[in-house]
Amino acid sequence: MKDYERVARSSPDRLAEALIARHNVRMTNLMRLPEAYRVMAIEAMGPIAILDPSHHLLGMTLNRVPVEYTGEFPRDLAWGVDSQIAAVRLLLSGQIVGAATIARQQLERWTIVLARAAGLSREEGESIANYFARSWTAFDSFSPESRVADAQIDLQDLDAGIEEYEPGADEPGSDHQHIVLSDGTEICPGAVYGYLSEIMHARECHDVTSWESEWLLDPRKMPTESALPIKAIADAISLSLIQIGMLTAVGLHRAGKHTEAYRLANYKSWPHRFSERDLASESREWWAASTSSDHGVERAAVPTSGVSPTLVSLMPLTPTEGLRKRNVAYLEARYWTYIGIRTGYRPAGRLYRDDEMVTLVFDAHRYSSAQFARSALDTEAALLGDSFDLHTLDSRGSVYIVVSELAAVASIWTAGAVSAALKLISSSLRSAYWLWLEDDDRAMACLRCTLEQAARVVATVEKPRKAERLENSPAPTSRWLEAAGWKRLNALNQAIGEYAHAQKKVDPLASRLLLSALQMDVDPDKDAIMTARGNALDLVTEFAARSVLTALRTVSSTVADTALELLEAGMLDLTQKHKEEVLNHSMKIRNAASAPSGHEASQSVTG
């Protein structure tokens, strides 16, 4: 603390430099994570190399918008695959909370689609864990043929969603079967879903969020407990990919491609995890290939250590980072290598190992994300004309980085619930920013985590007894907002909460309209809806900053005062007057949205 106080006394700019230096160290450490961590993070992607060609047969190529989930059913299935890539990317970046948010959303969506295909519905009073356990137990009893030919589901209507949170990550109380993968891994879907929910609400995984926020992913300080959240996220990815595969098989069957459909439906034969390496066999294959007549292939040595995605495919898609020309060119080359391998090309002169193939799949999908992000920037430049400035995006990102790092620093100097909440603020805000850059709606789901923990910090500091009662009886986000004196933010909470669950029937435009209406001093007729999620990111960042400053003032007024000066010199208005204006505007929008019904409600919110 004394070091930060010395820096703070120097100037706000020096404090900003210290905070951004923390961010840079964390980014550097991404390439130093232990191999065991990286292997656990990527191996669940194995089946994607099977699903991509199957989706191609249904007319869905990799040249697509990864975050789009409306349209014909192959679009839904491809979005499901891209979502697993998104979760793994955050996992490889140490952002456990963001990865858990995406993984839980996907597990929820595809489990409920599975239940509908099996003709099952949730019984009155049935817990989510028991419902999931019952659905997967029924699914596991079906034969591959029945999964394909007898699936009772409208592929054009893949709706799913649960809007509640049940605390706990224990095994379901009812009799149920675990799903067994090809390598013998056993998964309890209900327990996995509960554990991911606990991570999002800062009730589990404290050591790992500390590692990310406080210790900057220093490989020497990786906690042994990190295996638990990685496994839970990987298991959720495996389960989601199984159901995506089953629906793909149904689509293939209905398209008359019966052989491909039945082969895909036998999910127990999939490569769910990496097989054990045999270096001697790999070397023999390489030498045999090197003596062939195919001299146009560059021969690479057999790697003795694991291969995993590089920083190029992980970094945020800003013009100065992931979207730099040479970085996009690298991903494009990887994309074409992947396409070539699917047609029989062997760029290494041998078959790729599991880790090499999965890494190639990951990079190829990340190229789609980079293409879309670059196209979105071009569109924005065309709309804004001379007022478009790439540097604005970088300076805006600096504010999110500074707030997230301030939260991380404050978590070191505090304890208990306040420290745990600050760690989650740091992690979830970072993920929200990265996902927002890719136009991914899950950025809003991460912001829901940020907002809840920001309210938890303020409530704990200012109303400790009330906060203690809420801690003893897990409460929804709205209760924390009320305890923090932010009840009027319920419209914002409602809007971003919709994105935490994957529901196709709930029009995503409705939540966007509500977010659009929450913007102040914006003309709704001039593309206000296009800036709605960015405004939500700014709003939550503002209240996260207020909570961080509240925590800092309990331990160091010197750092808190300089931090306030730093943030207000940027893009945040942290005055009490502005706070009241935001709260009152939010309450006005909430009242307008809830007063009428039907079509009138939509008109009220947008007007």
- Per DSSP, the residues of 212-235 read HHTSTT-GGG--GGGHHHHHHHHH
Confidence category of residue 356, pLDDT binned at 50, 70, 90: very high
Which residues touch 379 (CB under 8 Å, ≥6 apart)?
A: none
Q: What is the pLDDT of residue 167?
A: 59
Under 8 Å between Cβ of 430 and 98? yes
What percent of the chain lies above the pLDDT cut of 90? 65
**Residue-averaged pLDDT of the chain:** 87
Residue 48's alpha-carbon distances to 114, 264, 270, 327, 358, in angstroms, are 19, 12, 10, 23, 8
Of residues 177 and 595, more confidently modeled: 177
Tens of pLDDT, residue by residue over 80-130, are: 999 999 999 999 999 999 999 999 999 999 998 888 888 888 888 888 889
| pTM summary value | 0.91
* pLDDT score of 506 more than 50: no
Least confident of 210-224, 393-407, 502-516: 502-516
Tokens in use for 402? 């500074």
- Length of the chain (residues): 607
Q: How many CB atoms lie within 10 A of CB 75?
A: 19
Q: Is the pLDDT of residue 4 over 60?
A: yes
pLDDT at 186 over 90: yes
Cβ atoms of residues 7 and 319 within 8 Å: no
User: What pLDDT is attached to residue 473?
Assistant: 83
Answer whether 91's CB lies under 8 Å from 41's CB.
Answer: yes
The residues that bridge with 179 in the sheet, in sequence order, are 187
- Rounded CA-CA distance 167/37 in Å is 27
Mean pLDDT of 416-434: 97
Residue 605 pLDDT: 36
pLDDT surpassing 80 at residue 452 = yes
pLDDT of residue 592: 80
On whether the CB atoms of residues 144 and 262 are closer than 8 A, the answer is yes
pLDDT the model gives residue 295? 45
Least confident of 46-50, 54-58, 304-308, 555-559: 304-308
At residue 170 the predicted structure's pLDDT band, cuts being 50, 70 and 90, is low
pLDDT exceeds cutoff 50 at 606? no
Are the CB atoms for 195 and 187 separated by under 8 Å? no
* Residue 180, SS3 per DSSP: strand
Q: Provide the pLDDT for residue 190.
A: 92
Position of tokens 């947008």? 606
Q: Which of 299, 247, 279 is nearest to 116 (CA)?
A: 247
Between the alpha carbon of residue 603 and those of residues 480, 524, 530, 592, the distances in Å are 30, 12, 18, 9
Confidence (pLDDT) at 514? 87
Q: Which of 143-152, 157-166, 247-256, 268-277 has the highest mean pLDDT?
A: 247-256
Q: What is the pLDDT of residue 476?
A: 87
Please tell me the predicted confidence (pLDDT) of residue 582: 95
Are residues 530 and 388 in contact, defined by beta-carbon separation less than 8 angstroms? no
Q: Are strands 179-180 and 186-187 parallel, antiparallel or unpaired?
A: antiparallel
Segment 212-237 shows an average pLDDT of 95
Q: pLDDT-derived band of residue 175, with 50, 70 and 90 as boundaries?
A: confident
> Could you tell me if 225 and 207 are in contact, meaning their C-beta atoms sit under 8 angstroms apart?
yes
What single-letter amino acid sits at 55? H
Q: What is the pLDDT of residue 339?
A: 94
Question: In 111-129, which positions are buried (b, 16+ CB within 10 angstroms) versus exposed (e)?
Answer: bbbbbbbbeeebeeeebbb
H-type alpha helices, 214-348: 227-254, 258-265, 279-290, 325-341
What confidence score (pLDDT) does residue 507 get?
54
Encode pLDDT of 241-289 as tens digits: 999 999 999 999 989 999 999 999 999 999 999 987 665 665 565 555 5
pLDDT at 470 over 60: yes
DSSP symbol at 504: S
Q: Which residue has the tokens 């704990």?
A: 460
**Kind and range of the H or E run holding 530:** none
Helix, strand, coil content of the chain in percent (nearest 5): 70, 0, 30
Q: For 196-219, what is the mean pLDDT?
A: 94
By mean pLDDT, which of 142-156, 369-383, 428-442, 573-587 is the weakest? Answer: 142-156
135 class by beta-carbon count within 10 Å (0-12 exposed, 13-18 middle, 19+ buried): buried
